[in-house]
Structure 1
Amino acid sequence: MEGTIIKGIGGFYYVKTEIETIECKPRGKFRYDGLTPIVGDRVRISIEGGKGVIEEIFERSSELIRPLVSNVTQAFVVFAAKNPDINKDLLNRFLVLCEYNNIKANVCLNKIDLCSEEELRKFKEGLNNIGYELIPINAKEGYGLEKLNQKLKNNVTVLCGPSGAGKSTLLNKLTGKTLMETGEVSKKVGRGKHTTRHSELIEIEHGFIVDTPGFSNIDITFIDEYELQNCFPEFKDFNGKCKFSSCVHNKEPKCAVKEAVEGNKISELRYDFYIKTLEEIQRGKKRKW
C-alpha cells in the first residue's frame, strides 16, 4: 500500500492510506542510508504480523527544516495587521524561504479590523508589486476564510508566521475543531506564547494542512549567494541581463537589477533587504574559510 505520513511520535509513524491510518515502523535500512522518514513523506508500506512497516520513501518535492515536513506545496504566511505590528524584515525572510523551497506563498493579513482601509491598500499594493497575493482575514470572526478553504484543495499547506499572528486560531477555524491551543500576545515583548507543540498533517478539503511553532526570526544565510537572486520574483525580468553573467546585483557595474531599482521598477526597500541578506551570506562564507 501507499500513503502519506501524517504524524511521527517516538519512532512510530502514522501513515494515512486510502483505506485507513496505520501505525508503522521504518525498515532498519533507512538508518544505514542516513534517511529518516518525516511528516509529509509519501511512502510504500507492508503489513507483517499485523504491524505496519515502511518499505520505501518516495522522492520529496520539497523539504522544510522548521517544521520538519516534506512535500509542502503552498504556505499561508500569516501576519497580524497590528498587535504585534508587522515585521517586514521577517516577512521578507519567510517569502525568500518559500521561493527557495519552490512553495507558493499566500500572505494572510490577520486582525484587519485593527488597520485602516488606506493601510490595507498600501500593504496590498506593495505585495502585488513584488508578485504576491494578499488575503485579508479576521480569523477570530471567520472573515476571509472561504477563500483560504478553496486554496486548500489538493495541496499540502503549511501555516507560518510570527508568534501572536493568530495561526492557531486560523487553524482551528479552518478545521472546525480546537486542534491547537491559542495564546494571548504578551504585552511585555509584543509576541505570542509558543503554543504549538508539534507538526502533524491534518486532512482538510481534499488536502493536508500543518501548523508550525511561531518564532521571531529565521535564518536564510544557508542559501548560496548566487541562488539568492532567484528568490526575489521581481528580479526575474532582469536576471541575466547584466554586463557580467556572475553578477549578484551588488557592486558590479552595468547591473540590470540596480538600474531597475533606480528606475522604480523594483522596490528600493526590497532591494535593500536583498543586499543586507547577500552580505550576511557572504560574511558567513568567509567565516567558514
Structure 2
Amino acid sequence: MQEGIIIKGIGGFYYVEIANGSIIECKARGKFRKENISPIVGDKVKIELLDNEHGVIVEINPRKNQLIRPVVANVEQAIVVFSLKNPDLSFTLLDKLLLFIEHHGVEAIICLNKADLDEANIFAKVKEIYERVGYKVIKTNGKTGEGIDTLKELLKNKISVFAGPSGVGKSTLFNKVQDKVKMETSEISKRIGRGRHTTRHAELIEIDKNTFIVDTPGFSSIDLSFLEPEELQYTFKEFSDYFGTCKFSSCIHDKEIGCSIKNAVTDGLISNERYNAYVEILKELKENRRTRK
C-alpha cells in the first residue's frame, strides 16, 4: 500500500504522485462509484500497486475542503491577486473574494501586482488596512520579477491556487513561479485571439518538493448565496470588538442610529474602505434575498 496525492485526473484515470516522486496511473475501486464518490485532484489517497506504473485507488482520505471552480480538494491557500493600477483595485471585490475564500476553509494572501504603476502608493494604504485585520499583503511585479522570491517562499509546502479578476496579472505570476506549464496572458490572448493554455481539468503543478499550484485560476465566480445579510458582519474581523455595544441588538451597521461600528469608522478605528465594501456587499445580499422570495 502506498500513499500519494492525485495531481491529475482525466477519462477515468487518476495520476497519483507517491513519496518517491513516481507518478502512478490509477483507476478507482468500484466501491467509490457505488458510494457516489469521485476522486478529484488534490485528494490524498492510498493505492495498491499493480506494477511500477499502474495501481488502484483503494482509499480517499477525508478532505479539508473542496472547490468547484476549479474542481480540486485540500487547497491550503489562495493567492488573491489584484493590480495596483490598470485595472484599479476594487475594495468591494477584494473583500467579496476574501470572505468567499475563507468560507471554503482556505487561507488568503493578498498579492498586489503591477508595482511599477503604483504612483499613488496604493500598496501602503492596502497593506496598512489589511495587515491590521490579520492578512498577509505582498507586492509584486510580474514583468520585472519584483516580489517573486517572496511569493515562492509563501507557496512552499502548500497547495495553492491563484484568484482574482481579469487583467491583474495572475497568469504572468503563475508563469514566473514555475516553468512546466505556460499559461496564456491577456496580451497573448488579445494578440493571437485564442488561449495558449486551455485546461479542461484542474492539475497540480509541483514547483518544489511538496509544493503545488493549481494550473488554472480559481474562484471564477463569487456566489455569496451561502450568506444571509445578518451574517455578513461576522465575516469582517475588525467588527468583532464592537458586537453587543450598538444601541439596538438587531443592528446590522448600515442605517441604524447608535451604531458602534459606524462610530468606530468615524473615529478612524475601522477603515472607510472596508466599511464601504461591507455596506455594498450587504446591499447585494439584501437584493439577493428579495429575488429568492
User: What TM-score do you get using the length of structure 2 for normalisation?
Assistant: 0.83
Match of 1:108 in 2: 111
Q: Residue 42 of structure 1 is aligned with which of 30, 38, 44?
A: 44
Distance (Å, rounded) in 2 between the aligned partners of 1:4 and 1:114: 40
Runs of 5+ consecutive residues of structure 1 not aligned to the other structure? none
Match of 2:92 in 1: 89
Matches within 5 A, 1:4-43: 4-19=5-20, 20-43=22-45
Deviation at 1:216, TM superposition (A): 7.4
Distance (Å, rounded) in 2 between the aligned partners of 1:215 and 1:154: 22
Q: Which moved more, 1:70-79 or 1:30-39?
A: 30-39
Answering whether residue 233 of structure 2 is matched by residue 232 of structure 1, we say no
Answering whether residue 147 of structure 2 is matched by residue 154 of structure 1, we say no
Distance (Å, rounded) in 1 between the aligned partners of 2:244 and 2:207: 41
| Superposed CA offset, 1:220-279 (max 9, x none) | 232344543332222233345557776544466655434433433222332232233234
What root-mean-square deviation, in Å, do the aligned CA atoms of Structure 1 and Structure 2 show?
3.0
Q: Which moved more, 1:223-232 or 1:35-44?
A: 223-232
Distance (Å, rounded) in 2 between the aligned partners of 1:273 and 1:194: 35
Matches within 5 A, 1:69-218: 69-116=72-119, 118-184=121-187, 197=199, 198-206=201-209, 207-213=211-217, 218=222
- Residues 24, 223 of structure 1: alpha-carbon distance in 2 compared, 3 angstrom cutoff: farther
Distance (Å, rounded) in 2 between the aligned partners of 1:66 and 1:113: 31
| Superposed CA offset, 1:76-101 (max 9, x none) | 11122222332332222211122222
Aligned residues: 285
Q: What SS is found at the alignment partner of 1:16?
A: strand
Q: Which moved more, 1:46-55 or 1:156-165?
A: 46-55
Deviation at 1:144, TM superposition (A): 0.7
Q: What SS is found at the alignment partner of 2:233?
A: helix
* Contact 2:160 2:213 (C-alpha < 8 Å) held by counterparts: yes
- Residues 209, 248 of structure 1: alpha-carbon distance in 2 compared, 3 angstrom cutoff: same
Identity of aligned residues (%): 50
Runs of 5+ consecutive residues of structure 2 not aligned to the other structure? none
User: What TM-score do you get using the length of structure 1 for normalisation?
Assistant: 0.84
